[in-house]
Amino acid sequence: QQPVQSPQAMILREGEDAVINCSSSKALYSVHWYRQKHGEAPVFLMILLKGGEQKGHDKISASFNEKKQQSSLYLTASQLSYSGTYFCGTESGSNYKLTFGKGTLLTVNP
């Protein structure tokens, strides 16, 4: 079951904050977040495991709400380098399979 990401796209000014959401209709065991720049490989940002934890490094953090079956990625004081497409990958069920959402295109302008 493919997770639903929102918004599909967003444009920010440098220094602004952003939140990207990832929702599933099934119970989640883990959520991955990746950033992909145009023509490049997706790059792993972080993983959240079942248990409702929050993680973060630098100005990028994420939460995992087990009851709501959703995860959110928080980008604080965005930088130009944050531009790209953000994908969440969710693991639901016991098949150890990661299914990716359609992505959120983030553009950060000066």
Which residues are at the interface with another protein (CB under 8 A)? 2, 29-30, 32, 34, 39-47, 49, 87, 89, 91, 95-103
Of 82 and 91, the one with the shorter C-beta distance to another protein is 91
Q: Of 84 and 101, which CB lies nearer to another protein in the complex structure?
A: 101
For CA atoms 56, 60, 57, 86, the dihedral sign is positive
**Cα(30)–Cα(10) distance, integer angstroms:** 25
CB of 92 to another protein, least distance (A): 10
CB count in 10 Å sphere of residue 103: 19
Least distance (Å) between residue 51 CB and another protein: 11
